[in-house]
Structure formats: C-alpha cells, structure tokens
Chains A and B, each alone.
Chain A
Amino acid sequence: MKYKDYYAILGVPRSASLDDIKKAYRKLARTYHPDVSKSPDAEARFKEAAEAYATLKDATKRAAYDELGHPATGAEFRPPPQWQQDFAPGGASFEDIDLADLLAAMGRGQTGGAGNGRGQAMPIKGRDFETSVTLTLEDARRGTSVNLTLADAQGERTLQVTIPPGVCQDQKLRLRGKGGKGHQGGPDGDIYLHINLALHAVFRPDHHDLYFDLLLAPWEAALGAEVQVPTLDGAVLLSVPAGTRAGRKLRLRGRGLAADRSDLYAIVHIDVPATLTQRERELYQEMAKVSRFNPRADGFKEKAHV
C-alpha cells in the first residue's frame, strides 16, 4: 500500500485545525472541480484533495491516518497490525485495496472504525459506474446491444449490455450489481447509464414522441390527400384531411420511440411553387377571384375551421 501525504495535498501543516483544513479544501475544490476548471490535471487534483479532506475532516480517520507516521509520499508501507485485524482478519491481503478505500470505509459505521477489536472484516460496496451512450433513433425504438467499457483500479473490462426498446433522450437506467466488485462481503456496485439520442435528419424527439415536418401543396391541404411519409420502420401512407392548416399536427399512433405508448407527429407546412406555369397562374388567379377566404380575418378563420 502506498502512502499519500494528505496534509501536503491540502497545503496545511500537520497541526492544522479543522477549520483551516476545511478552508484549504474548499479553496482547492473551487479551483479544481471538473465542473469549474478546464485545466487538464484538474480532475486528478480535485480527487486528490477530496480524498485527503475525507480523511482529515473526520477525527477518527485523522487519528488513524496520523498513526501511520510520516513516510515519504508514494513510499510503500504496512498498515498497523490492528488494521489487519479489523479489515481483513482472515489474513487477506491489503494489496488490492487503496488507502483511501480503507479510510473511507471507517466512516460508514460498519465496524466502528479501526482499532475496535471486533475482528470482523468490513464490507465495502463496489464502485458505481456512471456512463453514457449515444443511440440512433432507430436503435432507441428497437432496442440494441452496446459495449460499455468500465475502468477502475482493478483494470478495464467490457460489458455487453442490451438496451431495452423504447428509451428516450436523457433517460437514466440502473443496472444493479454490475459495477465494481465489492470487498469483504460488500455488495457489487451498480451501473448508471445516461441515454443520449443522436441527431436525426428527419425526426425530432420529445420524450418518447417524435416530430417531423410535412410539406404539403396548397391543394393537398385544402382538398385532403394520401401522402407517403417516413417513419422509423419505413414509409407509410398518411391521410391528410381536407382543410388541413399549417401548423396542424397529424398523429401516427404507436410510431414514436416506444411502440406501445408513443406517437409520431407530422407538423404540417404548406409550401407553394417558387415559379408558376401559365396554366397554374391562371388557376390561382381564378381562385383569387372566386374565393372568400382571407387568412388575416380572424372571424373568418374561426368560422371556416371549426
């Protein structure tokens, strides 16, 4: 087990008061927290400070840590015999346990701390992993398998997991007991997975529903039409009712991300030809003469589209 000089990490003397330790830690946390600092070594510096503070703020842990004396940073050392009795009474090795894990476990009330003389191994829960995965909308609807790479002090491993069908943007999933291995009878950790959905050329997700823009010609909107529209499972025919106005949402039931509880919505946009043939111009001019429709007259709009 390698020694770490927690006092040096926080930049305080070994005689520092709890207040001084707290202030030193908060200053470092404010400087190096990964949410705040963009420095490449920020995360490592922050973790180091947090580990040091977790021990030195607790009187019991600090006393146990001070028992170790003052070896050089990084020097190999053997924990006091009492620690062996408290943490690994069967003679198990400390080699695969970090100093920080041992000291952290003291504070969980599982043994009452080092030196309690109970002679029972302390269960230590395995590490939780938080990771994210980006899926296409098609994979989100149908479900898929992904490989998650999990790395910790015990090495790196790849876990192939099946993502259930019907997940949505920002959905969080928990896979119990598949995280880091627990120590000394402690439970294995969990995996927390954050789902991201890749941008799609056509569809936009909102929760489990999907939206896309449906362009209609004026006569299709006015007269109604059967138009071919895309879905994640391939093109289907959509009935556009006569008198469909721009902005209307036409629903395709069950065509969202979750087949049993979500829908696909076509948002209607009415487009016009950029240039008109002579005949088209004549027809539009004829319609302008005979139609009483005025889209800017609120009263008319209300009556015409009830």
Chain B
Amino acid sequence: MFDEQSQWLSLDTSARISLTELADCCGLTAAELDELVYYNALTPLDGVAPERVFSAHWVVPLRKVAKMRLDYDLDLFTVAMMLGQLDRIAQLEQQVQSLQALLPVQQRARHHE
C-alpha cells in the first residue's frame, strides 16, 4: 500500500489544460482535437499562449467520446456531434440535480418513487 499525498487536478472549468496534455489524456491526436475545434465541438480558451489552452472540464467528455469512437468505430465528425450532445445531457442532469436540491424532502421521496 502506498501512502499518497495526492496531487489531484480537478477536471472542471477552474483548471486549464494544454492541447498536448488534453490529447494525451483523451487518446486523440492534436490534429484530431484541431478538427473538433474546427467543427465548433470544442472551444479553446481565449489567450495569447503559444499553445492552445482548454478548460479541463473537456477531459472527461472527450475521454468518453474517444472511447465510444473506438468501441463503435465512429468517424471524427460523429464524435464532434456526440460531444455536443453529451455536453447537453450533462447540463440537463446538473439542472435536474439543482432542482431536486430545492424540493422539500417529502416531494423528493415521491419524485423517486
């Protein structure tokens, strides 16, 4: 067993990640990520850095679509379309969670029945 004082990177909008590292995380090439940017499926952060920088929140959905691409042998344009849909689903799930947090306990119980 290791005793690890972890150095976690939170994969949310508060963290930034370079194009090279994003590609490494997701198993996609830099050229493929560029193509996703070209399709407006992926948006780099504004800035003047020599290398493109992205919000780290892209890591998880990109890993997911990259896996589905391998699993189902999808082309990159399909991956771009799915990335948008997954992002939309994640937003809607978050909205549901937010609304559930506001529901009184009794109504939440009924909602889950």
Judged by a CB distance under 8 angstroms, whether A164 is at the interface is yes
Judged by a CB distance under 8 angstroms, whether A105 is at the interface is no
Q: Which of B80-113 contact A (CB under 8 A)?
A: 93-94, 97-98, 100-105, 108
**Is the beta-carbon distance between B8 and A173 smaller than 8 angstroms?**
yes
Bound complex: CA A172 to CA B10 (Å): 6
Bound complex: CA A54 to CA B67 (Å): 13
Q: Which of B1-23 contact A (CB under 8 A)?
A: 1-12
- With a CB–CB cut-off of 8 A, which chain A residues contact B97? 169-170, 205-206
Bound complex: CA A196 to CA B108 (Å): 19
**Is the beta-carbon distance between A207 and B98 smaller than 8 angstroms?**
yes
Please give me the residue from chain A that is nearest to B104 by CB atom: A213
Bound complex: CA A46 to CA B67 (Å): 13
Bound complex: CA A130 to CA B1 (Å): 19
Judged by a CB distance under 8 angstroms, whether B73 is at the interface is yes
Q: Which of A165-206 contact B (CB under 8 A)?
A: 167, 169-176, 178, 190, 192-193, 204-206
Distance in Å from the Cβ of A82 to the closest Cβ of chain B? 27
- With a CB–CB cut-off of 8 A, which chain B residues contact A267? 102, 104
Please give me the residue from chain A that is nearest to B3 by CB atom: A160
**Is the beta-carbon distance between B8 and A57 smaller than 8 angstroms?**
no
Interface residues on A, range: 35 or more
Judged by a CB distance under 8 angstroms, whether B60 is at the interface is yes
Distance in Å from the Cβ of A123 to the closest Cβ of chain B? 12
Interface residues on B, range: 20 to 34
**Is the beta-carbon distance between B102 and A53 smaller than 8 angstroms?**
no
Judged by a CB distance under 8 angstroms, whether A33 is at the interface is yes
Q: Produce 1/0 per residue, B66-79, CB < 8 A to A.
A: 00001111000000
Most buried by A among B6, B72, B97, B103: B6
Bound complex: CA A57 to CA B12 (Å): 35
Judged by a CB distance under 8 angstroms, whether B42 is at the interface is no
Contact flag A171-B10 (CB < 8 Å), given A161-B4, A162-B4, A213-B105: yes
Judged by a CB distance under 8 angstroms, whether B59 is at the interface is yes
Judged by a CB distance under 8 angstroms, whether A131 is at the interface is no
Please give me the residue from chain B that is nearest to A173 by CB atom: B8
Q: Could you name 10 residue pairs across A and B whose Cβ atoms are closer than 8 Å?
A: A26-B72, A29-B71, A53-B73, A57-B73, A157-B2, A161-B6, A171-B11, A172-B60, A175-B6, A211-B101
- Counting from the closest, the 7 A-B pairs by CB-CB distance are A206-B101, A172-B11, A173-B8, A204-B101, A161-B6, A174-B9, A206-B98
